[in-house]
Structure 1
Amino acid sequence: MPVMAASSMVFSSWQFILVYLPIVVLIYFLMNHLRWITAGKAWLVVASLFFYSYWDTKHLPLILGSIFVNFAIGTYLAKSHGPLPGDTGRLNHGISRKMVLAAGIAANLVLLGYYKYTNFLLDNVNALLGTAHTVPQIVLPLAISFFTFTQIVYLVDSYRGETAKYGILNYSLFVTFFPHLIAGPIVHHQQIMPQFDSRWTLMLRKSNLLKGLFIFGIGLFKKVVIADNFAVWADAGFDGGQSLGFFAAWATSLAYTFQLYFDFSGYCDMAIGASLLFNISLPINFNSPYKALNIQDFWRRWHITLSSFLRDYLYIPLGGNRSSEYQTYLNIFITFVLGGLWHGATWMFVIWGAMHGAALGVHRLWKKWGRPMPAALAWLLTFVFVNVAWVFFRAKTLEDAARVLHGMVDFRSIAGTSLPSAPTSDFAWGGWLSDVLLQYLPVGLVGHVPAYLAIAFAFIVVRQKNSIEIASASLGSAKLVCGVVIFSLAMYAMLATTSSVFLYFNF
């Protein structure tokens, strides 16, 4: 799998929260106050490119080249979308506009394919043919999957004649705006570009400042206090190599299920919150997916903008549900296999995508049979399936996945309580919780109780209103006090430990 360069300035780092974000916000609104509107946009572009290149400067030319090439193609397509009578849809020299669009999309996909899938394809060719071809290690550029898909959408809209009014500065800001650049949402130009041209967004607004910080603080808490701590148990179970008993296997799988949930949910909250500081509303990308009562509902709630992209630019072009019933099921399956492969160049992601494609097919059949299921049972089946599928998503090898899954059905070991060893020093709370528990519990249970309590706590939390629902109502004094407490706890945990990169940064 390609290797992604890593650094320390993530949304959940002190460098971002205490230095980068305040400076960018203050200078942007100062420029707007002085009526340097164009300079303010340019500042945001430069600041966003700095945020991107902070991870690895050698990939800065890549994103800049991608922006300029796609803008040139998009402008050419948009301005050639003339309303002249008898327009044949052809450019100069008889070149079809569809050919230009296809070439632009292909160029983006080839670039993505080279960085993300070269090693995967070569490994499979070597395994199939018994060869030993190698290439130098390819470092996966940060955010290439997201800015590639964003620009493909823009090219399609340009072909439809919807983007002719945008210049290079607006387009650059649309692509690079740092709250969504690294891990989404995959934004549509109509969702964000008009906001940058609105006079309403130019001045600092107290309501958006408070709402943005409130949502950002909840996201920070989800990441550093919840997700990063679940990661300790998940890593110990998945990567330890030891056999797992019944409870250990379920704790391992559920730890990753909730790690990924709170990690991605936390990122989405922080992206929306940071964007609101600039009076820019990003589309909701995460809407309590573990409340879903079926797998279709799950994909309407999880990574919403990716689901929309796959539907509009893959499933529908394949034929959607306009063909035979068999073809419809095949289109669903292909869409999700490719969606799995988008997440990473390993067969584990392909298996995960295939499982979800098959599950959506089963759900479609069940709906045709017209046999409604009790809500509690529907939720349980959906959650258990999603949890089992995440095992393949997280495991590095099929053997690791099999080891965890075997433990989950090993009822002979149900009497045991053993969990994979995980040092308490790895947790955000340090060792104080274990010190307290040692006064009341046997030594052998101290390392296990926090895991079970955390999983029980997570089940309760995911059933509550999410941060967007809470913030959509007025922020009274009680909510603001809670927000300050949550933010303070998250800041303490962040400064006490080293927060890991967000999981979706790897995709």
Structure 2
Amino acid sequence: MLFNSFPFLFAFLPTAFVLHWLVERFRPSWRVGVLVLLSLVFYGYWDWRLLPLLVISIGLNWLVAELFHKSPRGALIAGAIVVNLIVLAIFKYAVFTVEALNLLPGIDLARPSIALPLGISFFTFHHIMYLTDLKAGRAPRFGFLDYAFYISFFPQVLAGPLVRWSEVMHQLGERPYLRPDAAERIGRGLMLLVIGLSKKVFVGDPLADYVNPVFAAAAAGKAITVAEAWQATLGFTFQIYFDFSGYTDMALGLALLFGIVLPQNFDTPYRATSLQDFWRRWHMTLSRFLRDYLYVAMGGNRHGLSVQLLALFATMALGGLWHGAGWTFVAWGVAHGIGLGIGVLWRRAGLPMPVLLGWALTFLFVVLTWVLFRAETFDVAVTIFKALFGFAEMGGGFKWRSIVLAAAIAMIGPTAWAFVHRLPPWRSIAIAFAVVFVIVLFKIGDDANYEFIYFQF
């Protein structure tokens, strides 16, 4: 059930909101249970056969937490984390592992046929965050329904943001519709939903038509012109931003409708003036996860420069592998690890970096490395890179309109969260958003709906 689909917008969402409002109004003690039930229905709609995996995952990890409270043994938590990672590896990396082994002489293993459950990376990382904090004495004990809510809350279960327990669990005891700002929060939630839909439908999806044909042609072994390569590369640079940030805006807006404030995930990342700054602005919740649960655990910057550089390299390589079971994703992560390491050395040397030059270098680096992220194979990436650097015919017909519009919004505009919280509560603004929503609905009805890019991770 896509957020940008009629079944979600006209069936699930209004039904869920009314049911939640009734329960919060007349049976507030049922609120968490209803949110869990709604989340399981939402998840099961995709494929009910995958629902037991989520339920069993929640149940077993909660039981581990209960056992840890009775007998606080670190090995119990460590074992549970290992099991979570093994399950993730089986579903997400089995094919990748077999294909890698088949590259060795004398090995010819059958390629397994395993469906990738939606959201498995995200809910696995939520388990890991809670269990790690529990072992460290930072996380409290939660009842089963509360824990099930934390893992399965439907706005973020499929593609984040990655939410720490400390960011949401304290909100479960609130009466969100009795707050003095309840109507305002609902209104701003609806505005975020409309903005996220608009990003996806009016900007992200049209850019797919600039990107997909070029990468498909490269995969088919066809010649790519310089113009086509830059069109596809710049197009994907903004497509993935508007696709994913649009999803995040919808997730934050939907959560507000149900009385939950989720953490923001983007802060105008293409205005970053260094690669370190970029990762503080892009997929911010994942960046914090990688920093706190991988980089710091590997030593971070506490044990000298060599350890810091190695930790950066390993963290980003693993971050690349998390995004996809493919060597191009690993290469993308490695490139960012090297880039971050160069930034550390530059700052250690006390060398200057003018702001404008820092922005230009950062943006160019991010744009070029997106090729690795988007390309399915290194052959495709090499074909695109050759054309980008002029080793191809110049070509013509560069499609620029959607790219220029996307660049202007991404570079100049504020985040959707900041934008909606600056708007005054005027009736004219509400009418304008209603009109935009109607136009979005017509667009959804006319065009094919693209799935969100991050659903594959």
Count of residue pairs the alignment pairs up: 451
CA contact (8 A) 2:65 2:141 kept: no
Residue 59 (structure 1) aligns with = 50
Equivalent of 2:144 in 146, 149, 168: 168
**Superposed CA offset, 1:132-190 (max 9, x none):** 11153010111000000001111122223444442111111111110111100111111
Partner Cα separation in structure 2 for residue 454 and residue 482 of structure 1: 22
Partner Cα separation in structure 2 for residue 388 and residue 231 of structure 1: 17
Amino acid at match of 1:467: A
Equivalent of 2:163 in 182, 187, 191: 187
Partner Cα separation in structure 2 for residue 461 and residue 281 of structure 1: 25
Partner Cα separation in structure 1 for residue 253 and residue 297 of structure 2: 34
**Superposed CA offset, 1:57-100 (max 9, x none):** 111111111001111111222x24xxxxxxxxxx3xxxx71111
Deviation at 1:366, TM superposition (A): 1.4
Amino acid at match of 1:27: L
Residue 190 (structure 2) aligns with = 213
1:466 matched to 2:426: no
1:486 matched to 2:403: no
Partner Cα separation in structure 1 for residue 129 and residue 311 of structure 2: 20
1:41 matched to 2:32: yes
Distance 1:130 1:387, change over 3 A: farther
Equivalent of 2:252 in 257, 264, 272: 272
Residue 445 (structure 1) aligns with = none
SS at match of 1:280: coil
Partner Cα separation in structure 2 for residue 412 and residue 499 of structure 1: 33
Equivalent of 1:11 in 3, 8, 23: 3
CA contact (8 A) 1:219 1:265 kept: yes
Q: Where does 1:295-334 land on structure 2 (aligned, <5 Å)? A: 295-334=275-314
Equivalent of 2:388 in 386, 396, 408: 408
**Superposed CA offset, 1:208-245 (max 9, x none):** 11100111101000001111111111100111232222
Deviates more, 1:249-258 or 1:124-133: 124-133
Residue 424 (structure 2) aligns with = 475
SS at match of 2:107: coil
SS at match of 2:400: helix
Equivalent of 1:153 in 107, 129, 137: 129
Deviates more, 1:481-490 or 1:139-148: 481-490
**Superposed CA offset, 1:178-208 (max 9, x none):** 0111100111111111101113456792111
Deviation at 1:411, TM superposition (A): 6.6
CA contact (8 A) 2:266 2:415 kept: no
Partner Cα separation in structure 1 for residue 192 and residue 355 of structure 2: 30
Computing the radius of gyration from Cα coordinates, the structure with the larger value is 1
CA contact (8 A) 2:217 2:224 kept: no
CA contact (8 A) 2:77 2:132 kept: yes
**Superposed CA offset, 1:372-430 (max 9, x none):** 3222221111111101100000001111111111111117634x314xxxxxxxxxxxx
Q: Which runs of 4+ in 1 moved over 3 A?
A: 160-165, 200-204, 411-414, 478-482
Amino acid at match of 1:319: G
Q: Where does 1:96-495 land on structure 2 (aligned, <5 Å)? A: 97-200=73-176, 205-241=182-218, 242-410=222-390, 413-414=393-394, 416-418=395-397, 448=398, 451-463=399-411, 464-477=413-426, 479-495=429-445
**Superposed CA offset, 1:333-392 (max 9, x none):** 000000000001100000000000000011111112223322222111111110110000
Deviation at 1:483, TM superposition (A): 2.6
**Superposed CA offset, 1:21-42 (max 9, x none):** 11101011111211x1232322
Equivalent of 1:29 in 21, 25, 33: 21
SS at match of 2:262: coil
Partner Cα separation in structure 2 for residue 200 and residue 259 of structure 1: 35
Partner Cα separation in structure 2 for residue 292 and residue 481 of structure 1: 34
Partner Cα separation in structure 2 for residue 265 and residue 501 of structure 1: 14
Partner Cα separation in structure 2 for residue 459 and residue 287 of structure 1: 15
Amino acid at match of 1:247: A
Distance 1:411 1:127, change over 3 A: closer
Give percent identity, aligned residues only. 39
Deviation at 1:500, TM superposition (A): 1.1
Amino acid at match of 1:101: I
**Superposed CA offset, 1:477-502 (max 9, x none):** 35434433432332221121121111
CA contact (8 A) 1:179 1:272 kept: yes
Residue 5 (structure 1) aligns with = none
SS at match of 1:11: coil
SS at match of 1:372: coil
Partner Cα separation in structure 1 for residue 177 and residue 342 of structure 2: 46
Deviates more, 1:63-72 or 1:491-500: 491-500
Amino acid at match of 1:502: F
Amino acid at match of 2:91: Y
Residue 441 (structure 1) aligns with = none
Distance 1:486 1:370, change over 3 A: farther
SS at match of 2:417: helix
CA contact (8 A) 1:337 1:354 kept: yes
CA contact (8 A) 1:29 1:202 kept: no
Structure 2: tracts of 5 or more residues without a match: none
Structure 1: tracts of 5 or more residues without a match: 1-8, 81-90, 419-447
Partner Cα separation in structure 2 for residue 455 and residue 10 of structure 1: 25
CA contact (8 A) 1:211 1:475 kept: no
Tell me the C-alpha RMSD between the 2 structures.
1.7
Distance 1:170 1:412, change over 3 A: closer
Partner Cα separation in structure 1 for residue 176 and residue 377 of structure 2: 51
Which TM-score applies when normalising by structure 2? 0.95
Partner Cα separation in structure 1 for residue 51 and residue 298 of structure 2: 34
Distance 1:364 1:486, change over 3 A: farther
Deviates more, 1:476-485 or 1:362-371: 476-485
Residue 434 (structure 1) aligns with = none
Deviation at 1:128, TM superposition (A): 1.2
CA contact (8 A) 1:315 1:332 kept: yes
Partner Cα separation in structure 2 for residue 406 and residue 467 of structure 1: 36
Partner Cα separation in structure 1 for residue 22 and residue 356 of structure 2: 53
Deviation at 1:319, TM superposition (A): 0.7
1:496 matched to 2:446: yes
